[in-house]
Amino acid sequence: MNELEIISRARGFGDKVALRTENNEHSYQDLLTRSGEIASALLGESGDLREARIAFLIPAGFDYVTTQWAIWRSGGVTVPLCISAAEPELEYTLSDSQSTVIVVTSAYRDKVVSLSEKLDLQLLVVEEVSASFSDKSLPEISPERRAMILYTSGTTSKPKGVVATHLNIQAQIESLVEAWEWSPDDRIPLFLPLHHIHGIINICSCALWSGAAIEPFTHFDIDTIFNRIKSGAYSIFMAVPTIYVKLIQALESMAVDERDMLVNCFAEMRLMISGSAALPASVHEKWTGLTGQKLLERYGMTEIGMALSNPFHGERRPGSVGLALPKVEVRLKNEQGDLVSVEDEPGEIQVKGPGVFHEYWNRPDITAESFDDGWFRTGDMAVIESAYYRIMGRLSVDIIKSGGYKLSALEIEATLLQHPDISECAVIGLPDDTWGEMVAVAAVLELGAKLEIDELRRWCRDLMSTYKIPKRLLLVEALPRNAMGKVTKTTVHDLF
Q: Which of 76-85, 187-196, 271-280, 480-489 has the lowest mean pLDDT?
A: 480-489
pLDDT score recorded for residue 140: 94
* Residues sharing a CB contact under 8 Å with residue 153, sequence separation 6 or more, in sequence order: 159, 399, 405, 406, 407, 408, 411
The pLDDT value recorded for residue 154 is: 63
pLDDT of residue 325: 98
Q: Is 90 exceeded by the pLDDT of residue 303? A: yes
Whole-structure pTM value: 0.86
**CATH architecture designation of domain 399-495:** 2-Layer Sandwich (3.30)
Q: What is the pLDDT of residues 362-393, one digit of tens each?
A: 999 999 999 999 999 998 888 899 999 988 77
In this prediction, residue 36 carries a pLDDT of: 94
Give residue 485's pLDDT. Answer: 65
Residue 433: pLDDT band with limits 50, 70, 90: confident
- pLDDT value of residue 490: 85
Helix axes 5-13, 62-73, angle to 10 degrees: 130
Nearest to 5 by CA among 195, 238, 168: 168
Question: 322-359: per-residue pLDDT in tens?
Answer: 999 999 999 999 888 899 978 878 899 999 999 999 99
User: Are 431 and 277 spatial neighbours (Cβ–Cβ below 8 Å)?
Assistant: no
Task: Tell me: pLDDT of 20 over 70.
Answer: yes
Is residue 161's pLDDT more than 80? yes
C-alpha 120/C-alpha 343 separation (Å) is: 55
Residues 225-255 have pLDDT tens digits of 999 999 999 999 999 888 998 999 999 999 9
pLDDT at 346: 85
For 387, counting Cβ atoms within 10 Å of its Cβ (0-12 exposed, 13-18 middle, 19+ buried), the class is: exposed
How many residues are listed for the chain in this entry? 496
In contact, 420 and 432? CB cutoff 8 Å: no
Look at residue 135 in the predicted model and tell me its pLDDT: 58
Neighbour count for residue 80 (Cβ, 10 Å): 25
**What percentage of the chain reaches a pLDDT higher than 90?**
76
pLDDT value at residue 279: 82
**Predicted confidence (pLDDT) at residue 396 exceeds the cutoff of 80:** no
- 60-109, pLDDT tens digit by residue? 999 999 999 999 999 999 999 999 999 999 999 999 999 999 999 999 99
Contacts of 445 by beta carbon, 8 Å cutoff, 6+ apart:
421, 422, 423, 451, 475
The residue extents of the domains of the chain are 399-495
**pLDDT score of 109:** 96
Tens of pLDDT along 465-483?
999 999 999 999 988 877 6
Identify the CA nearest to 208 among candidates 38, 59, 32: 32
Average pLDDT taken over every residue of the chain: 92
Q: What count of Cα atoms within 13 Å lies in the side-chain half-sphere of residue 148?
A: 29
pLDDT for 31? 97
Q: Which one, of 379, 303, 304, lies nearest residue 335 by Cα?
A: 379
Res. 206: pLDDT tops 70: yes
**Least confident piece of the model among 35-49, 135-149, 295-309, 402-416:** 402-416
Q: Percent of the chain at pLDDT above 70?
A: 98
Assess contact for 439 and 458: CB atoms under 8 A.
no
Q: Tell me how far CA of residue 90 lies from CA of 13, 104, 113, 115, 195, in angstroms.
A: 36, 13, 12, 8, 12
